[in-house]
Amino acid sequence: MHHLYNDPWYVEVNMDSAAIVWPLFNSLQAFWPGLQVLAGDIDPAIRTHTAFFSVWKRYGFTPEGFNLATLSVQHGQKSYPLRPELIESTYWLYKATRDARYLDVGRDIVASLQYGARCPCGYCHISDVENHKREDHMESFFLAETVKYLWLLFDLAVGPDNLVENGPYKYIFSTEGHLFPATPQISLLQEHCSYFGAYCSHGNLKEDPCASDKSADSQETNGNRVSEGRVRTEFPLDSSSFESSPVSGLIKGLCTGLTHAQKYGISYPASVDAPSEDDSAKQNDNVAQGHAVVVFSDQIANQSLSGDSNDDNVKESSEMESEREPERDPSQS
pLDDT, tens digit, 9 for 90 and up, residues 123-171: 999 999 999 999 999 999 999 999 999 999 999 999 888 888 887 778 8
**64 catalytically annotated:** yes
Using an 8 Å Cβ cutoff, are 207 and 216 in contact? no
Using an 8 Å Cβ cutoff, are 196 and 183 in contact? yes
Tell me what pLDDT residue 160 has: 81
Tell me what pLDDT residue 159 has: 87
The span from the CA of 228 to the CA of 240, in Å, is 9
Tell me what pLDDT residue 139 has: 93
Other beta carbons within 10 Å of 129: 25
Q: Which ranges of the chain have pLDDT less than 50?
A: 189-255, 287-298, 300-301, 304-305, 314
φ, ψ at 208 (rounded to 5°): -140, 75
Binding residues for Ca(2+): 175
Q: Which of 59, 75, 60, 58 is nearest to 24 (CA)?
A: 75
**At CA 64, angle to CA 39 and CA 16, rounded to 5?**
60
Tell me what pLDDT residue 332 has: 55
Q: Is the dihedral of CA 291, 297, 299, 301 positive or negative?
A: positive
Tell me what pLDDT residue 163 has: 81
CATH 1.50.10.10 fits 5-160, yes or no: yes
The span from the CA of 214 to the CA of 201, in Å, is 11
Q: Which alpha helices (DSSP H) does the chain contain, by range? A: 32-39, 42-59, 85-97, 101-112, 141, 147-158, 163-166, 239-244, 260-264, 277-287, 298-301, 305-324
Tell me what pLDDT residue 161 has: 81
The span from the CA of 4 to the CA of 10, in Å, is 5
**Catalytic-labelled residue, pool 64, 85, 145, 191:** 64
Q: What is the pTM of this model?
A: 0.58
DSSP state at residue 69:
T
Contacts of 5 (CB under 8 A, 6+ apart): 44
Structural domain boundaries of the chain?
Answer: 5-160
Tell me what pLDDT residue 33 has: 97
